Structures are given as structure tokens and as C-alpha cells.
Structure 1
């Protein structure tokens, strides 16, 4: 089953540690049988998002209304099964160009309000953060939470980071972490493809929600009645005598 992985370098240095770890991840992905492609975001003109969905939700859709190189990148994302995003750490966050890139992906996510499905849903992503400073986990957590909100799957061992000075190619642990990012995105993308799920986020539960809410309300009221007497005794001991909790 063919898998295509798009590697995204969000560093201005094509030769730096961020790019090196991304290349390790892509080599591992290729070893696992994927077709790989790398893009360097600083080679593209990516304008900031203008938040047109706040004017009218119908305005935020693919293709994005802004006429720049992001249209090329959006098509590359759509034709890929998995993304590996590598960024330097800039003040506890990703590089500015990556923030613009992620913001502009909103036109794919917002298709859920136009056609009922996010166009990025079901893809897979892995993450790399590099910088001689703290903030790696914050950067990765940001990327994970945003992309998962697009319906993009996050595999096991989907992160690698390097926060030291010197050449990352001499750090075996960081290299192994990056290689496993490449491996797991391919394995996960292949597994998800085999499931042949047409849509991950569904509204089929809408008719069931009233009954579920009623059942939960009844259950929690019973639990409150049984638990409150115990909690009331405890709180009464802690509060001054003049407080009445009945």
C-alpha cells in the first residue's frame, strides 16, 4: 500500500540541525517503503492568515482566498498521507513561517463546515523541534494539539527534539528518535489506510445525545446524593461552626 510522506522544514537553514533531523526521519520513512518529499518553507511566500472566517464562515475554504505560494503547499499536503514537521524553537514557539503555514491550513479544516468533512482528516503527523534553548515540548505540544484538531492522527513515538549546541549528527539518541518518527508515521498511515474509514468525525450521535445526557444526569444526581453526606461531614469539620451546609 503506497504511502507518501511530506517532510516540512520550517528552519531558514537548509543545512542546520532541524533539517538534519528531518532528513533522518525521511530516510527512515523511505526505508519503511514510503515515497518522501521535502519542502523548505522559507522558499515559499506564505502570507499571514487574515481570519476571513470571522467575517463569514463560507469565506474560509479551499482554495484559500490569498493568492500566494501556500496554494502549492496545500496541494502537497492534500496529496500526502503523512506529514513530518520540523521547526527551530523561537521563544518557546515554532518559527514564524511555520505558524503562518499552520494558520493557513485552516482552509482545509474549515471544509467541515462547507462539505461536512475536514480535508486533512485521517492523515498522520510527526514532529521535530530543535534549539539550543528550552521550549521543545511546548512547541511539539502546540503542533500536536492543533493538527489533531484537524483530525490528523498522532502515532506513538511521534516526536523528536534536540536542545543542545553542536552537531546533532553526533547525538545517537536524537537520531534514533527522529528515525522512529519517520517509521511510526508510515506504519500508522498504512494502518489507517487499511481501515478505509470514510469519515472520522461524525454527527451520527446527535439523536442519541438527549438520552445519554438524561442517563448521565440521573446517575450523577444519585452519586451526588450518596457522596454529599460524606463530603458534608468532612467540610463541616473544616469550616467554622456558623456555616450551615444543609
Structure 2
């Protein structure tokens, strides 16, 4: 069974963010998943205090901050897939969502402590809703961070709406949200079937010798290409000198 957790980062439980998230979760259920939606506004979530910068081994679950993230961490760990949803506030996610997202560092940082991020191999998708511009500025860093944390983003794993009306009134956006939920479950099933012992390996034995071979190959290519580039440069300089001579050397 695939377990999908939807995370509503809007303070409005009834708004466009929640609406598109519910469409995605319904599509996930139609693919056989069990789903749950949490509204971050119901939780007291303090901002990250950056303890990782002082002592990297301190940053681990359940986090040194004693707040309601301790209720959310078990839900995140138990989920196979996460659908994040946020409104766009001044070219970024809501403060509510950002506080939550930063606090996921406790899972990612375990790669330094246990050799593996606890988010590794989970599937993640992203929904953003805004009244005008700012969607790409909001979502691009979040998608980058999700991949860096070890999560897998499926095809069509990102959708957005940036008009001042109900997103459910737009058929294409609704279709995108449904496909997002569907693809989340399909990819999760595929990854479960693959079932590798780990994805990110902290120790790849063949890597040092491979690097030596790659460097040798690059040196050879550099030598050959520089020879060709020098011929091209000389040709350009020769032509330039001819033009200068034709102009009287000025």
C-alpha cells in the first residue's frame, strides 16, 4: 500500500492551495493509495535556528526545538510520498511553509550521521498557487532542495496556478493536479518494486580509480582541442593582420 501525505502550507484551509491538493490526493486514492492531508496552520512550527552550522551532529530527529514538528515528523517518516502545496507570498512560499520546509533538514542531515537521509527514496511533488507572478521563483528552489534531500520528483510532479480566481475553475490546472497525484503513486510503486538497499552511497570504491582515468582522458582531449583552437585563433589573427595592413597599418 502506498501512503501519500499532503501538506497544505496555506493558512486558508478552504483556498485554492487546499483545493488543488485535494484533487491530487483524490487522484492518488484512485490509484490505490491511502492519503492524509495536514494543514500546517494547525501546528505551532518555530523557525529553524541553524544548529547545523554550529555542530552538524546536533541536527537530527526529532530536532532540538520542542514544538509541533514533533507531531509531523512521524507522519513524514511513515509516508511513502509527500505532496507539498504552498501559496506564493512575495515571490516565495508562505512563511508557514518555509518554517516547516527548513525543519526537514533533520532528516537530510542524517546522511552525515547515519550515512543515509531518511527522506531518501520517497517521492515528492509540488503545488503552488498565486494571484500573479512569482510561481517559478517560489518553486524552483523548492524542487532543487527536494532533490538534494534525496526525494524523487515524478514526471508531471509540479503544477501551479497564478490567476486571481478559483483554480478549480480551470480545467487544465485541475487535470494537471490530478495527473500529479496519479504520477506520485505510479512512481512510488515503481521505486518500491526496485527496492534498492540505498540510493546515495557514501562510499563508492571504484570512484578514485575512475577519476584518474577521467582526468587522463580530459587531458588528452584538452591537448587535441587546444591544437585545433590554436589553428582557428591563428587563422583569425592572420585575417585581422591582413585587414590592418590593407588599411595602411592603422
Relative to structure 1, the CA distance from residue 235 to residue 135 in structure 2 (aligned partners, 3 Å threshold; closer, same or farther) is: farther
Equivalent position SS for 2:152: coil
- Partner of residue 231, structure 1: 229
The structure that has the greater radius of gyration is 2
**CA distance in structure 2 between the aligned counterparts of 1:180 and 1:238, rounded to whole angstroms:** 57
How far apart are 1:181 and its partner, in Å? 0.8
- Partner of residue 73, structure 2: 74
**CA distance in structure 2 between the aligned counterparts of 1:133 and 1:226, rounded to whole angstroms:** 51
Contact 2:115 2:202 in 1 (8 A): no
- Partner of residue 7, structure 2: 8
How far apart are 1:113 and its partner, in Å? 1.4
**CA distance in structure 1 between the aligned counterparts of 2:11 and 2:53, rounded to whole angstroms:** 31
Q: In terms of mean alpha carbon deviation, does 171-180 or 159-168 score higher? A: 159-168
Q: In terms of mean alpha carbon deviation, does 154-163 or 226-235 score higher? A: 226-235
- Partner of residue 42, structure 1: 41
**CA distance in structure 2 between the aligned counterparts of 1:19 and 1:158, rounded to whole angstroms:** 17
How far apart are 1:188 and its partner, in Å? 0.7
Deviation per CA, 1:71-107, whole angstroms, max 9, x where unpaired?
Answer: 1111110010001111101121111111111110000
How far apart are 1:138 and its partner, in Å? 2.5
- Partner of residue 244, structure 1: none
**CA distance in structure 2 between the aligned counterparts of 1:82 and 1:213, rounded to whole angstroms:** 35
- Partner of residue 91, structure 1: 90
Unaligned runs of 5+ in 2: 242-250
Relative to structure 1, the CA distance from residue 229 to residue 32 in structure 2 (aligned partners, 3 Å threshold; closer, same or farther) is: same
How far apart are 1:234 and its partner, in Å? 2.5
Deviation per CA, 1:208-229, whole angstroms, max 9, x where unpaired?
Answer: 2221121111111111111112
- Partner of residue 19, structure 2: 20
What count of residue pairs does the alignment treat as equivalent? Answer: 239
What is the root-mean-square deviation in Å for CA atoms of aligned residues? 1.4
How far apart are 1:238 and its partner, in Å? 5.3
Is it true that 1:52 corresponds to 2:58 in the alignment? no
Is it true that 1:110 corresponds to 2:105 in the alignment? no
Deviation per CA, 1:95-143, whole angstroms, max 9, x where unpaired?
Answer: 1111111110000111111111111111001110100111212322222
Equivalent position SS for 1:213: helix
Deviation >6 Å, runs of 4+: none
**TM-score w.r.t. structure 1 length?**
0.93
Unaligned runs of 5+ in 1: 242-246
Which one of 211, 214, 230 corresponds to residue 213 of structure 1? 211
